[in-house]
Structure 1
Amino acid sequence: MEKEKAHWRNVLLRILAAIQYLAKNNDALRGSSDVLYEKNNGKFLGIIEMLAKFDPVISEHVRRIKGNET
């Protein structure tokens, strides 16, 4: 339970950091698509996709999303 709680805390911290970055620069979060790894899915999902390449926490989160796990 604690491990899962820590995982979600870490995911949330990274998502909030991405939102804060975009808000600070007055950028829109969403594109014309709201699906990961699709063209024109916006800056927010683009940041998440980029983080997934280098960050194991977000990488695991994206894997769970794509596998429809919670």
Structure 2
Amino acid sequence: MTNQTASSRPTHRIYAVTKNGSKKIWRSIGALWPHSDGKGFSHKLDCLPLNGAEIVIREIDAEAEEGAR
């Protein structure tokens, strides 16, 4: 089975979110791409959180990404 993505660039980032007191710490752990048929997603994880972190998927803000470089 092959899953073709609509784009070579990911559309979403995957984060592991943990709490340190009242502060939330967001760590990027991967990316997500929609399938070209619109019926699913492919994802790539760079690491897996083992500390009970919440996994959050957020749409990439292109302007914020450019400013971070």
Computing the radius of gyration over CA atoms, which structure comes out larger, 1 or 2? 2
Normalised by the size of structure 1, how large is the TM-score?
0.25
Higher strand proportion, which one? 2
Normalised by the size of structure 2, how large is the TM-score?
0.25
Higher RCO (C-alpha 8 Å, min separation 6): 2
Higher helix proportion, which one? 1
